[in-house]
A = this chain, B = another copy of it.
Amino acid sequence: MAPHAFVLEPVARKLSARRRLSFDEAKAVKLLPCKEASLDAGSYLVREGEKSHVCCALLSGFTYQHKSTGSGARQILAIQLRGDLIGLPNAMLECADHNVQALSRIKVALIPCQAVADLIVRHPAVGQALWAESLVDASLLREWILNVGQRDAKQRIAHLFCELALRQKAAGICSGSDYAWPMTQEQVADATGMTPVHVNRTLQRLRSDGLITLTASMIRIPDLEALEIAGDFSRGYLHQSSTEPAVEIDDIDRNLYL
């Protein structure tokens, strides 16, 4: 059994959490042909206006979607983390409508688009899971609009911290109270529609309120509930089921590989 088969496990896990997959369906996801690659921070995965024929699964690190106005102001639209699929939307449309760039050094698994298309035909349930996943992504975009459009500086940043905490917790990357912080203050500014200077000052207020401890590349959240309140955060839009499906998938893995 090639170690290769384990590579796409986070993806299969994520999809299974979204929609119940049978043993065969989960296996088919994990056995997708793919090639691992390592990319430096800042590398482009998708470029606006180009047709991308590559689809890839993020195995470690973070990427971000962004696009810019004509005058060069950049807006960050979403953050991807381990298990997320990148470029699937762009592959289905004529050309990409946004950029995707590596936030940190990342590992990805490159998957031929055709293999994904075939998988969907052979296993409609996987197609539905992928579709559902893209609908959840849309839900994140909607909440992002609400964040940028209606909340004040403190809430915007607190909300961003909460979203990343809870998504990483659901993905099994961290406990939720403590995680590697991948963004510079300038990037936070681009994500929240603020200026870097104002982000800096707002962070200081969040720190002095005792809501976060943010050192270079590490954030500690002593009281997540308090931060959620400060950030006007409610978990519904993440569409995370309250039940923990990770165990069940681990069982499948055990059956498969032992």
Residues of B within 8 A of A97 (CB): 139, 142-143, 236-237, 239
Interface size class of A (residues with CB under 8 A): 35 or more
| Cα A146 to Cα B107 with chains together (Å) | 28
Given A138-B137, A141-B138, A142-B67, check contact A150 B89 (CB 8 Å). Answer: no
Secondary structure at the A interface, as helix, strand, loop or mixed, is helix
Q: Are B134 and A232 in contact (CB under 8 A)?
A: no
- Chain copies in the assembly? 2
> Which residues of A (226-258) have their CB < 8 Å from a CB of B?
232, 234, 236-237, 239, 241
Residues of B within 8 A of A105 (CB): none
> Which residues of A (120-141) have their CB < 8 Å from a CB of B?
121, 124, 127-128, 131-132, 134-139, 141
Closest to A128 in B: B92
Given A127-B127, A145-B75, A193-B148, check contact A134 B136 (CB 8 Å). Answer: no
Residues of B within 8 A of A148 (CB): 145, 148-149, 193
Q: Are A94 and B151 in contact (CB under 8 A)?
A: no
Interface string of A67-109 (1 = CB under 8 A from B): 1111101110100000000000100111101100000000000
| Cα A135 to Cα B149 with chains together (Å) | 22
Closest to A229 in B: B70
Q: Are A232 and B150 in contact (CB under 8 A)?
A: no
Q: Are A145 and B241 in contact (CB under 8 A)?
A: no
Choose among A70, A146, A155, A234 the residue with the greatest number of B CB atoms under 10 Å from its CB: A146
Contact sample, A vs B, 12 pairs, CB 8 Å cutoff: A49-B236, A68-B150, A73-B151, A75-B149, A77-B145, A89-B135, A98-B142, A141-B141, A141-B145, A148-B149, A149-B192, A149-B193
The 9 tightest CB contacts between A and B, nearest first, are A149-B193, A141-B141, A73-B150, A97-B139, A148-B149, A89-B135, A75-B146, A75-B149, A70-B232
Given A89-B138, A134-B138, A145-B145, list of 5 further CB < 8 A pairs?
A69-B151, A73-B150, A93-B136, A145-B148, A149-B149
